[in-house]
Structure formats: C-alpha cells, structure tokens
Amino acid sequence: MAMKTSKEYIESLRKLNLVVYMFGKRVHNVVEDPIIRPSMSAVAMTYSLAMDPQYEDLMTATSHLTGKKINRFTHIHQSVDDLVKKSKMGRLLGSITGCCFQRCVGMDALNALSMTTFDIDKKYGTQYNERFLKYLAYVQEEDLVCDGAMTDPKGDRSLPPHRQSDPDMFLHVIEERADGIVVSGAKAHQTGAVNSHEIIVMPTITMREEDHDYAISFAVPSDTEGITYIMGRQSCDTRKLEPGTMDRGNMAFGGHEALIVFDRVFVPWKRVFMYKEHDFSGHLVEQFASYHRQSYACKVGVGDVLIGAVQTAAEYNGAERASHVKDKIVEMNHLNETLYCGCIACAAEGHREPSGTYYVDTLLANVHKQNVTRFPYEIARLAQDIAGGLMVTCPSEADLDSPDVGKWVRKYFAARNGVPTEHRIRILRLIENITMGTAAVGYLTESMHGAGSPQAQRIMIARLADIRKKQETAKRLAGIVEDKDAVREA
C-alpha cells in the first residue's frame, strides 16, 4: 500500500478495538464521537495533503528501505533537506488545521530509535536495529500513525523509579518470557493517542543500573489487550456536543490527550528495541527530545492562523489603522517568525549520525524550544488585547439564532458597517479557541511542557553552549595569558 488516503485512514481506525473512557463511560465508537472526531480530522489532513500534488514535495519522501514514495511522517531523515522539509511541513499543517495534528511525536520516536538501536547494537552486539528496521518497513508500508509514548506519571519526583512506593509510576517489565516480555505502568499526556495505530514506548528519564527494569523501548498495536485510554479534559470541550459550530471556534479540527494504562501488556521480542540497557536510556531520551523540540514548527503555523484572526478582528472593529494595533501585530509577526528561524536553523545545522540518520543540531533545537515556551504566550496576550473583551463575554450561537433575543445580539454586537455580526463573533470565537479553549492545550500549555519542561532545555543549553571556548576567545582578544596548569587546578 505505502500511502493511505484520508478516507482509508479513517476506515482503518474503525477496525481497531480500542478501550477508551471519557467522562467515566466507555466510548464505543471512537471515530464518530463528537469530541474526539475533530482531532481525528486533524490527523486525516496529514494524509490528504500527502495526496495533493501541490504539497507532495513537503508531505512525502522516498523510503531509504524500499525506494517507495511514503508519507514523510513515516520517513527516516536522510539529509539536511529532509530536516528542513520536516520544519516546513509542521508550519504548513499548523496553518491549515489551527491545532495539533498529532503525528510529529511518532515520527520523532522512529528517527530517535533508528539511531539509538544502532548505537546499542554497536556496543553490545544486540540485534535491535534489525528488529527496528523490519518494524519501520511495516509502518511505512501501511502508512501508520504512531503515538510516541515517553512521559511516565513519575509519582514522587524526588525518588528514582526503583524507589517509588508504587512501581507502576514508571512503566516497567514485570515478567520475562521465552516469546517476549510483560509490562505494566502508564504513559501520560499522550497527544492523539486514540487516533493512532501503534504505540511506541520509550523511557522518560536517564535510568540508573538499579532502574534497568524501566529502561525499555518497544512498540505495540494501539488496541493490544491490556491497554486502556482515559481521555483528558480540555477547556470548552463539551461545546462540541452542542448544536451548531460557531461556539467551537475552530469548526473542523482539534486535538486530544489521554492517559494510556498498560495493565500486564504482552510485547513479543520482535517489537522490543531496548531491554534493560540503562546506559542508553538517556541517549534515547535526548535524541527524541531534540527532534521533538524541532517539531514545534507547528506552533508557527498556528501562530499564522492567530495573527490572521487578529488582523481580521481589528478590521471588523474598524481599528486596523490605529498605530498601537498595527505595532502589536508587527510584534506578533516578529515573534512568530523568530520561532520559525529557530526550527529552520537547528535543521539546517543538522548532521549525519553513524546509523545514517540525519540529526538536528541539539543546542539550536533546545534554544528553539526555549523560545516556544515564551513567544506563543506573548502572541496570545497581544491577540487578546486586540480582540477585546467580547471574546469572552459574547452570548452563544443559540442566543444569536434565538427568535426572542437574536435581534438584540445582532444589533448591539455589530461593529463596522457591512460586516455581519455573525462574522465578528466567529472570528472572536476562533481567537478564544486558540488562546483559551481546546486549541490552547496545543498552542500554549504544550508549548510550555511538551518535549520536556523549560528547565530541561536550559540544562541542555548550559551543557552544550561551550562556555570555555567563548572564554578563551574573549581572553585572547583581551590579551590575557594564563598559566594553563594553574587554571586546570582551579
């Protein structure tokens, strides 16, 4: 098959037997559920654009395994150009959907494992990379959505995994069998989990030798026996259950997160890619995190949508010529394009690893993600400033359509002549959705905590910035000559 259409993707989800709970009840038809469906539609767009000749160059690639044309989300980066196109693809999809489209984390997991499995094999003579490449060929041929599952609940953050009072706070091996392993635990904050065909599990932190049972990586089908999904709540999520579309803000697309519970889940050996090699756990975490920090090019695309919405709102209000409004929109564009500079830079400075996979510049990827923890919040603040208070005080679509009070809503919330009140409300609802509603999970909270906390990036920046080299340059230019032995001792 190699590539699915969006229709084939949706039909493939119907064949899954997922165990999903939301609001305390089992969801028996995940594909048609009105709260989940918009997130599935966002993923479907990654299939639709891959079939569109206009976007073929960004959305597809040539498999290094088979030579076939494949969806770029299943591709292993073979050049700097691949890394750059990944960033451009992220911005494109963010600008089309206005939300998280959920496939980046799986793509980043595949690329990280292509390197880490190779490196483990080189040191220990294992066969993880061979297993992984067979699995990758399957993912590419079937054009599957993979959920990259890294974040454990963690329990008491002051304690390592092996000292937790409940060992399931970090996913771990509980039984080894001749045909595979049995695992228990959970993975939290899993974006797009119930829209995925496969779950790729990775460790969440660097493990010590005492934590070797937690140093595991594997892949299982998303409907494997013993896996349960518990959907997370989002602001304004139940608006999707109401008649009409205006109050949703984003009419077509959305995202979701879930807790994935692994209750004695069996994993065959052919799908195990790390097994107790604790010394490579941090290696995998760092490589995945660097790729995923690059992936926040998607926020630039969502920023494009938000800036467009704010410009429209200003024009509807008759305020677009005010100097302070123009200056704020310039600032929003400046911040958004600065984010784009970061994701393109870490891709352009990428390099080839021994496995053959191309890897981003780790320092620049962390700098980019550090900016992502800040700039979208300022962009959102400026958006709310320009939008005005009606964004959060506006009556509902039902009031607008009411035979009793609709005339008053249309009369008193009208702005510039010639602009229907409904249009003004719709654009304000979109701004609300991105900065406060369901999309704010992806645009703001995920910008802060996704791909690791802000402090995790600062630690990496401190480690990689090569302060000593900067000092040596400064001292040379200043004419400072030091006794190197004395400096070393100090």
Active site residue ranges: 100, 104, 191, 257, 292, 296, 298, 446
Q: Answer whether 482's CB lies under 8 Å from 475's CB.
A: yes
| Torsion angle of the four alpha carbons 139, 145, 150, 152, in this order, in degrees rounded to the nearest 10 | -130
Report how far residue 129's alpha carbon sits from residue 217's, in angstroms, rounded to the nearest whole number. Answer: 12
Q: Answer whether 64's CB lies under 8 Å from 121's CB.
A: no
Between CA 149 and CA 67, with CA 200 as vertex, the angle to 5 degrees is: 135
User: What type of residue is 133?
Assistant: L
Type and span of the H or E element at 221 = strand 216-221
Report how far residue 216's alpha carbon sits from residue 481's, in angstroms, rounded to the nearest whole number. Answer: 50
Between CA 359 and CA 367, with CA 361 as vertex, the angle to 5 degrees is: 135
* DSSP-derived 3-state class of residue 152: coil
Q: CA-CA distances (angstroms) from residue 67 to 48, 75, 201?
A: 22, 11, 27
Q: Answer whether 358's CB lies under 8 Å from 339's CB.
A: no
* DSSP-derived 3-state class of residue 144: coil
Ordered strands of the 272-275 beta sheet? 146-149, 198-201, 216-221, 272-275
Work out the angle between the directed axes of helices 80-97 and 281-294 (0-180°, nearest 10).
Answer: 60
Sequential DSSP letters for 231-297: EPP-TTGGGGGSSSSGGGSSSS----EEEEEEEEEEEEGGGEEEES-GGGHHHHHHHHHHHHHHGGG
| Torsion angle of the four alpha carbons 267, 272, 274, 276, in this order, in degrees rounded to the nearest 10 | 40
Pairing state of beta strands 146-149 and 198-201?
parallel
Report how far residue 169's alpha carbon sits from residue 180's, in angstroms, rounded to the nearest whole number. Answer: 22
Report how far residue 164's alpha carbon sits from residue 10's, in angstroms, rounded to the nearest whole number. Answer: 40
Between CA 346 and CA 355, with CA 352 as vertex, the angle to 5 degrees is: 130
